Chain A
Amino acid sequence: MMRVFAVALDLLYEAARRRWFLALGGAITLFLIGLALSLQLDVVEGTLAATRLFGDDISGPMQAVDVVLRPLYRACAYVIFFGGIVFGTLACADFAPSLLSPGRIEHLLSLPVRRVELIAGTFLGVLTIAIIGGLYGALGFTVVLGVKSGIWTMGPLYSAVLAGIGFSAIYGAMLAAATFVRSAALSAAVGAGVLLAGIISSFRADLASLFNPGIWRGIFEAFTALMPRFVTLAQASADIAASAPLSMGALLRLLLGMLLFGVSMTFVAAWRIERMDF
C-alpha cells in the first residue's frame, strides 16, 4: 500500500509543477480574492439589507440571508462539479500516457513496484488532485461568504467531494483508454465521451421514450444503465451545497454506482497493463 501512496505522491509532485494546475490554482485564488474585495453584504439581524458588487448596488427585496445565499451555493456546486470535471479531463489526460511513456515505464517496472500498484497510485493521485482542487475552491467560497454574511455551512465542501467522486468515474475510463492507446488526446476524448454519455444517462427515462419500443430502445436503455449519471449527481451536489432536503438512500446508490464504474474501469486498466510488454 505504501508503494501506491508513493506513486500517488509523485503524481501530486508532478502536478504541482505543471502550468495547468498552477494556472487553475491561480485562477481560483484570483476569483476568491476578487469576490472578497468586491462583494459587500449588509446583514441586519439575519436579513440581507443591501448587496454591492464592485460598488454597484445589486440589492433585491429584503430576505433572510441564508435564503439569498442558497442559489449562490447551488451555482458554486455546479461550477465546481462540471468545471472541475471538464478541467480535470483536459489537465489530467496525459498523466497515464506519460506514465506509460518509453524510458519511464520500464524504469518504473524495474523498481520494486507492481504494475497494478502503478495504476492504483495514478488513480489515487488524480482523485486526490480532483478533490483538493474542488475543496480549495469550495472552502474559499464558503469562507468568503461566511465572513461577509455570518452564515457558515459545510454544504459546498461536501459537494466538492461529490464532484471528485464523479470525476473518478471519468478518470477510470481515461486510464483504461490510455493502456490501450498511449495518447493524451484519446484519453481526453474518452473522458469527454463518458461525461456526455453520463449526462444523457441522467435523462434516460425521458430520452428512451423517443425510441420506438424494440431493439434500439433496449440497446439505449442497456447502455445508459451502465453509465454514471452525472447530472443527477450534480443536482444532488447542488442540493447539499444549498442545504436542501435530499434522499440519502438515493445519493448513496448514486455514489456507489459512480465508484463502481470508476473502479471497474481501473480494473480494466490494471488487467491490460498486466499483459503489456514495454
Chain B
Amino acid sequence: MSFAIRATGLSKVYGGSVFRLGRSIRALDEVDIRVPPGLVFGLVGLNGAGKTTFIKAVLGVVRPTSGDVKVLGGSPEEISVRRRIGYLPERLYLPGAWTPPAFLASIARIKGLKRPKEEIDRQLSRVDLLADAGRRVGGFSKGMRQRLGLAAALLGSPELLVLDEPTDGIDPLGRVTVRNILMEERRRGATVFLNSHMLSEIEKISDHLAVLHRGRLMCQGSVESLCDSLEGWRVRFLDPPPAQLAKTVGFALDEKGPWWRFEGTDAGTFNSGLAALHEAGANVVEVVPVGRDLESLLARVVDSVRGGKQERPANVEPGIEGRDHDLESSGASVQDGEEAA
C-alpha cells in the first residue's frame, strides 16, 4: 500500500555541530509515521514535542539528521511532489500591502496553475474572504489571515494538505467553516495532515492520530482505537453508599467530587455492584460512561514519561494494537520494529 506520508526512523538534531560546541537538541528521535491516503491524520503533542519539526521534514524545509521521508511516493524536495502539496504554516507571513487575490496569484504563479483567477475566487469564497478581496492583508484580523493562508494551501486542489494549527486564532463559527472545508477535501480524496493544540477539533475531524512527546512517537492509530475505548463508569448517588460495600463491589470515591468510579468494562459486574449498593439503600442519580478522550490519552502519555515508569505507557498499547490491526485491515503491512519509543 502506498502512503501519503511515510517517515522511517526519522531523526533530527539541531545545533551542536559547529566545532562540537553548543548544546544539541534532538527534536525528532527515530520517528516512524505512516499516513494512509485519503484520510485526516492528526498529530498531537505538547509544545516542543517535535510536531512542527516533523511537518517541516515532511515538506523538505528541514533536512533529517537520519531516517527517510517519502511524501506522495517521492522525496519532499521534488518539484513534482511539491506541486501536489498545500501547506499552511503555524505563523504564515503575509505581506501587509498586498490584497488577498494578489497574494494568491503569487502562489498560483509559482504553482503554475492554469486559469488562476477562477481558482482564486473559488478558494476565497470557500474561506469567506471574497467580500474582503479588495482590502489589504495588513488590516486583516488573525482569523482572516489564517483563512487566507488556508485558501493559499487549497489552491490547485492539492493531493496532500499539511496544516499547522489551522484553526489558531479563528472564531468558533470560523472553526466550523474550516472543519467543513477539511471534510470536503477529505471527500474529494485529499489527505489532510494536521497539527493542532485544539484536541477536541482534532478528535472531531481526524480518522487517524499520532502522539509525539519529546521527539518520540508514543502511539499512532485510528481515533477509535486510541480514544474511544470504554474504561469504566462514573456514578452519582443520592446519598453516599456504604464505603466498605462500595469498595467490595469495585467502586471507589472519585477524587474530583461526589462521584464514584467503577474501573472495568464488564457491564454485568458493574450492574451487580450497582444492585448491591441499591439494596443497601444507595439510590443512583446519574451514570456516565468513562472513555479515553484525546486529552486523557495525551495526559497519560505525558504522565507515564514524567513518572519514568516505562518507555511507553501500558494503557496506550491497545491503541497501538488497534493501529496495527487498522493498517492491516486497510491493506497496509505492519512495519518491523514499529514499536514507538
Closest to A17 in B: B97
Please determine whether A102 and B93 come into contact, CB atoms closer than 8 angstroms: yes
A7 to B110, CA, bound (A): 8
Q: A109 at the A/B interface (Cβ < 8 Å)?
A: yes
B91 interface neighbour in A102, A108, A110, A113, Cβ under 8 Å: A102
Q: B85 at the A/B interface (Cβ < 8 Å)?
A: yes
Q: A3 at the A/B interface (Cβ < 8 Å)?
A: yes
A7 to B109, CA, bound (A): 9
Query: What chain A residues lie within 8 Å of B98 (beta carbons)?
Result: 13-14, 17
A7 to B98, CA, bound (A): 15
Tell me the smallest distance from the CB of A2 to a CB of chain B, in Å: 7
Closest to A108 in B: B110
Query: What chain A residues lie within 8 Å of B61 (beta carbons)?
Result: 105-106, 109-110, 277-278
Q: A104 at the A/B interface (Cβ < 8 Å)?
A: yes
B102 interface neighbour in A3, A6, A13, A114, Cβ under 8 Å: A13
Tell me the smallest distance from the CB of A193 to a CB of chain B, in Å: 24
A165 to B83, CA, bound (A): 34
A53 to B83, CA, bound (A): 60
Chain A, residues 83-121, CB within 8 Å of chain B (1/0): the string is: 000000000000000000111111111111110000000
Please determine whether B162 and A110 come into contact, CB atoms closer than 8 angstroms: yes
Q: Chain A, interface size: which category? A: 20 to 34
Q: B26 at the A/B interface (Cβ < 8 Å)?
A: no
Query: What chain B residues lie within 8 Å of A277 (beta carbons)?
Result: 14, 56, 61-63
Q: B313 at the A/B interface (Cβ < 8 Å)?
A: no
Near B by CB (< 8 A), chain A positions 49-84 give none
- The residue in A9, A13, A112 that gathers the most chain B C-beta atoms within 10 A of its C-beta is A112
A9 to B107, CA, bound (A): 12
A114 to B89, CA, bound (A): 18
Closest to B84 in A: A112
A17-B97, A103-B89 known; A111+B60 contact, CB < 8 A: no
A158 to B91, CA, bound (A): 45
Please determine whether B106 and A13 come into contact, CB atoms closer than 8 angstroms: yes
Query: What chain B residues lie within 8 Å of A106 (beta carbons)?
Result: 56, 59, 61, 87, 89
List 8 other contacts, CB 8 Å, given A110-B85, A277-B61.
A13-B106, A102-B91, A110-B59, A110-B87, A111-B82, A111-B110, A112-B111, A278-B61
Interface residues of A (CB under 8 A from B): 2-3, 6-7, 9-10, 13-14, 17-18, 101-114, 277-278
Sample of 5 A–B contacts (CB below 8 Å): A9-B106, A104-B92, A110-B82, A112-B82, A112-B83
